[in-house]
Amino acid sequence: MKLKLSYVKPVFERLIPVVSEAYSPDGVNIQGTKFYEMEHNAIAAPTLSFDYELDNGLGLKANLFYLNSEQGFSLKEDAVNDDLYVYFNRGDGDEIDWAVDGTFRAEDELDVLVADIEAYRKIGNVEKFLTIGGGLRYVNMERRFHATESSDPDRFVKARHKIRGVGPKLSLGGKFPLYRDIGFYINTSGSLVAGNEEQKFTSDDGQGKVDDTLKIMPIFDAELGVEWTPDINFAESLTVRAGLEGQSWHGGGGWDFSNGNGGSPWFDEFSWGAIGGHLSAEVGL
């Protein structure tokens, strides 16, 4: 059994300019637009793994990964931030614009669950080996956005993007000795998940674009680092690892702000990923 705790930062191909500031020093002409972007902070994300391996190097492995990241943003209309406007793209060709007279608030949440099961073949010995595997990956990913403005309690914007699917996964990894009980490891994998994609935009002005389509999404993972395998008495083996990792979700949902007004909390075919580090402990029984 293996428990890995990652500390990763979600990174999006396009950040979220939740509000723009139209400022006019002469009080008449708007002379520019300033974007305020929401950026997620690093967050802890656990992975639980179960591994059963035969003496001939054949094995079966199951992984469960969970990530939940929330980010908030607020901006108050005052003498410093004067003439604040928020622009949203409904996704159906229409736009929503708010003149902020109080405080603008927005929350963005990312929720990800990944489950893998795969068979593998280990080639080599305990100190130096190559692992080749293949199996299935299940994904349940949802991203939610909610914005309000204090001067009008009934004013709101909500957007939701959800993907749930399954697909094939291939993996390649290895371990190489460095010094005594210390080694270097690297693991990579790629999967192609197909499933249902739901996108929805709603506001106090009514419902915008709604999509419910088939989605095919490539996902790539990689990790590398050093491991320590000390001699122990309470179990057959103990492996402690520390390293770096990254994920890439191609077309996993970004925010399209390419429209002329500058802001649109609408999910499109943009990508996101996660980068960071991890610590793990694996006990062989």
CATH number of the domain where residue 266 is located: 2.40.128
Judged against a pLDDT cut of 70, whether residue 24 lies above it is answered with: no
The domain containing residue 227 runs over which residues? 2-247+255-284
pLDDT at 7: 94
pLDDT at 134: 98
Q: Which residues contact 267 (CB under 8 A, 6 or more apart)?
A: 143, 159, 161, 199, 253, 254, 255, 256
Q: What is the mean pLDDT of the chain?
A: 83
> Which tens digit of pLDDT belongs to each residue from 97-156?
777 888 888 888 999 999 999 999 999 987 899 999 999 999 999 988 888 988 888 888
> Which tens digit of pLDDT belongs to each residue from 186-234?
999 999 999 998 888 788 877 666 778 888 999 999 999 999 999 888 7
Judged against a pLDDT cut of 50, whether residue 261 lies above it is answered with: no
Portion of the chain with pLDDT greater than 90, in percent: 44
Q: Which two tokens stand for residue 246?
A: 């990254």
Quick one: average pLDDT of 79-95?
Answer: 67
pTM (predicted TM-score): 0.85
pLDDT at 26: 47
Measured distance between the N- and C-terminal CA atoms of the chain, rounded to whole angstroms: 8
For tokens 């709101």, name the residue.
156
- Counting the structural domains of the chain, the total is 1
Confirm if 4 and 279 have CB atoms less than 8 A apart.
Answer: yes
Amino acid sitting at position 117: I
pLDDT band at 263; cut points 50, 70, 90: very low
For tokens 């950040």, name the residue.
15
Q: Which two tokens stand for residue 181?
A: 């009980």
What is the Cα–Cα distance from 91 to 35, expressed in whole angstroms?
Answer: 20
pLDDT at 22: 55
